[in-house]
Amino acid sequence: MPRAEVLEQIYTIVAQIPEGRVTTYGRIANMTDGATARMVGSAMRHLPSGHALPWHRVINASRRVTEHTGAVRQHEKLRAEGIVFDARGRVPQDMLWP
């Protein structure tokens, strides 16, 4: 897991992703002081139950939902917010934030 201060930066950035937009693990990492995309993924995986962060708005660099146990739920949440996927399962470039 990332250091506490980097984790706080990750959570602060994720909290700012607006509904109807997504961003990538790598983009979030680039906005922090030293996190990697894998650290961002780890932070999303280890969120405590009952949190309010929009974890579902974080996708991989190929603009797809990463395969994991919550992938179906993540797709559902994104579609409910108006996110569309192309035939290859990618989110259009213009839906990326920031």
Supply the pLDDT for residue 29.
98
Q: What is the mean pLDDT of residues 71-97?
A: 97
Supply the pLDDT for residue 55.
97
Q: What is the mean pLDDT of residues 77-96?
A: 98
Residue count of the chain: 98
Residue 32 token pair: 């922090």
For the segment 39-73, what is each residue's pLDDT rounded down to a tens digit? Answer: 999 999 999 889 999 999 999 999 999 999 999 99
Whose structure tokens read 């660099």?
61
Supply the pLDDT for residue 2.
74
Architecture of the domain delimited by 4-93: Orthogonal Bundle (1.10)
Alpha carbons 74 and 42: distance in angstroms, whole number: 16
Question: Cα dist. 98→10, 24, 37, 64 in Å?
Answer: 14, 10, 16, 17
Alpha carbons 38 and 26: distance in angstroms, whole number: 8
User: pTM for the full model?
Assistant: 0.95
Residue 1 has pLDDT above 90, yes or no: no
Rg (CA), the chain: 13
Q: Which residues pair with 59 in a beta bridge?
A: 24
